[in-house]
Structure 1
Amino acid sequence: MKKTLSIIGLTVFGMLFSQDIAFNKLYGNSDPVNYYLTHYPVPGSDGLDIKWYGGIRLQTTGSILQLLNNGNVGIGTIEPQTRFEVAKENSNNKNVVMARFSAYGATGGSNMISIGYHNTANLELNSGYTSSGFRYGDYGDFNIENDNEFNASFGAINFITNKKIQLAIKPNGNALLNGKFEAKEIKVTSSPTADFVFDENYDLPRLEDIEKHIKEKKHLPEIASAKMMEKEGVNVGEFQIKLLQKIEELTLYSIEQNKQIKQLQEENKTLKSESEEINKKLHHILSITK
């Protein structure tokens, strides 16, 4: 019997070492679902598949790659706050975030893309269903604040410094600038222009009425007062048209005054000629009476 068992054992042992055993799965913590090291097929070869419920950390003396169980991935940090975060240690051995990238599905409450660079410039760019578009601000302005969506057609863009919006581009196409604007050239398109002043049926205001309005209101008709401009601002396009309208009205006044001046000059010339004739006749009469 012992001889028979020995022969069977040797046979099985020989069979085990006479062929390759395919690597299938190694697992730990008695939990093959959440803790394992295995492989998966790819065209022409295999891929390495590692799953560890608590996360995976690859570390060298110079860097670290961290994969958390919430899906966040970090390079240079063991606590990435977004889907992808790059950080490095500063002189005080503290991690400083260099860049962030986040993309959450709509089921997660937002659909956001964020790229941030945190140094003295404190730059962050983000967009999403519940983010506030592109932002420029200090560290912490990454927080979701409103329901704007950024994309090619509907998004808002905010540039923030010192926790204050300096430049905002709204979904309706309007832009807000909190500060001075300087450019080599500005083109404002608006319609219609003020050429209606030159229409034959245009009712040109009387200068007497304009004078009365100025005395009472202290500003030109159809032009907002200084207080109103300070309170509500000025629409550059509309204001330029109004100024053009007043210039064209002044042109018509000037043309009319020029006609009147020429007419007066002709009348003055006639009167002067008649006066000279009268003086000649008087001189002739006086010479005869002498």
Structure 2
Amino acid sequence: MKHAVCKKSFAFVGVLIMAIANLYGQAFPTIYDVSHYDTEQGTKGRLFVINKDVVSPTSEIKPFIFATNTSSGIKDLLRLTTNGVATLNSPFDGYGTKLDFYAQNLWQGYLLGESNHLEIAGKEKVRIGVSSNYNAMEVNATSINTSANMHQAVSGVLMRYGCSDDKKQGWIGSESSHDVVLGTNLKSCIYMDTNQKVYIGLTPTEVNQINVHTKDTYGLFVKKGVLAEDVAIGPQTSWADFVFKPDYGLKPLTELRQFIQVNKHLPDVPSEQKVKENGYSQHEMNKILLQKIEELTLYIIQQDEKIKQQNAKIEELESAR
């Protein structure tokens, strides 16, 4: 019995292949009902084949080859139109409509097993090697290799995954004027805006709270600090050695005392309020601190000269007694 069923299946496939081949072999093939041929017609479906020997009348040309009976009438499964368009359809309506492509293993005419490799489902879904009903497209494989870039467009946001235009760098990001977030557990880890600013550990809400001046001044923002074995600052055009130039205006100590009493911080050092509002540059702060150390060194040298002069006068007075 199984051999008989298998033979019928092979006969059906052969007729279907012959029908497709005949269609492409004639400019105006005529399609007839299966009853014209000595081929068994089952109760669950209807088969249409093409007679390549008859090219007229053209009014008898029908667009579909293979159809099936459903609760809502006869629906076509495989359609080959006269203008060369081929379609493969699911005959059922409503949610769950799908087309399955199976690979079958045969041994001595017996069907041992089958595996659903490709499924085209309703609601614009395509599944490859999976059976989930949630995503628009799913692929179950160890790896996917492609030489083409992958693009995603949703609500005007255009994302790109692949290579740069010159094929010299990998590329993950937006091609439209939209920020990009890299995260885990649905939380932002790295936030990149359209001005090439990078925020690590900050949410989009926290990024929006940073004032414009600070954003314009810096390129990288890190929440909770950075732990590193070493930090290097690139070459800079300014440093604090100008303090030792002859024309440097070192404030007298009395003037420095007055400034501190009024402003509550050293000259050139940003106030507490400014640091709260804008933060500070590590390079600028290092330069300012070095400037204060060099100024302090000059003050010590001045005081040393005065002490030497005073000691000389004291020795002179003592020797005059």
With normalisation by structure 2, the TM-score equals: 0.49
Shift in Å, 1:211:
0.2
User: How many angstroms apart in 2 are the aligned matches of 1:182 and 1:233?
Assistant: 19
- Identity %, equivalent residues: 21
SS at match of 2:221: strand
Give the equivalent residue in structure 1 for 2:226: 181
Shift in Å, 1:267:
2.3
Aligned-residue CA RMSD in angstroms? 4.8
Q: Which runs of 5+ in 2 are unaligned?
A: 1-17, 25-48, 50-64, 67-75, 90-96, 104-112, 142-148, 163-170
Q: Which runs of 5+ in 1 are unaligned?
A: 1-20, 38-52, 88-101, 116-124, 276-290
- Equivalent residues of 1:74, 1:80 under 8 A apart: no
User: How many angstroms apart in 2 are the aligned matches of 1:157 and 1:80?
Assistant: 34
**Alignment pair present for 1:103 and 2:103:** no
Larger radius of gyration: 1
Alignment of 1:107-256 (within 5 A): 109-113=156-160, 127-130=173-176, 131-139=178-186, 157=198, 159=200, 174-189=219-234, 190-256=236-302
Shift in Å, 1:215:
1.0
Matched positions, count: 208
- Equivalent residues of 2:98, 2:119 under 8 A apart: no
User: How many angstroms apart in 2 are the aligned matches of 1:66 and 1:247?
Assistant: 74
Identify the match of residue 313 of structure 2 among 267, 274, 278: 267
Structure number with greater CO (CA < 8 Å, separation at least 6) is 2
User: How many angstroms apart in 2 are the aligned matches of 1:239 and 1:82?
Assistant: 54
- Equivalent residues of 1:104, 1:112 under 8 A apart: yes
The residue type paired with residue 258 of structure 2 is K
In structure 2, do the counterparts of structure 1 residues 86 and 160 end up closer, same or farther at CA, with 3 Å as the change threshold?
A: farther
* Cα distance per residue 1:145-186 (max 9 Å; x no partner): x9956xxxx7555555888769x9x99970111212211111
Shift in Å, 1:239:
1.3
Alignment of 1:38-117 (within 5 A): 65-66=118-119, 76=130, 78-79=132-133, 81=135, 103-104=150-151, 109-113=156-160
SS at match of 2:151: coil
In structure 2, do the counterparts of structure 1 residues 213 and 78 end up closer, same or farther at CA, with 3 Å as the change threshold?
A: same
User: How many angstroms apart in 1 are the aligned matches of 2:260 and 2:129?
Assistant: 70
With normalisation by structure 1, the TM-score equals: 0.53
* Cα distance per residue 1:28-86 (max 9 Å; x no partner): 5352234259xxxxxxxxxxxxxxx9666569989865567968665535457477666
In structure 2, do the counterparts of structure 1 residues 161 and 183 end up closer, same or farther at CA, with 3 Å as the change threshold?
A: same
SS at match of 1:261: helix
- Equivalent residues of 2:260, 2:266 under 8 A apart: yes
Shift in Å, 1:128:
1.1
In structure 2, do the counterparts of structure 1 residues 182 and 223 end up closer, same or farther at CA, with 3 Å as the change threshold?
A: same
Identify the match of residue 35 of structure 1 among 87, 95, 99: 87
Shift in Å, 1:265:
2.0
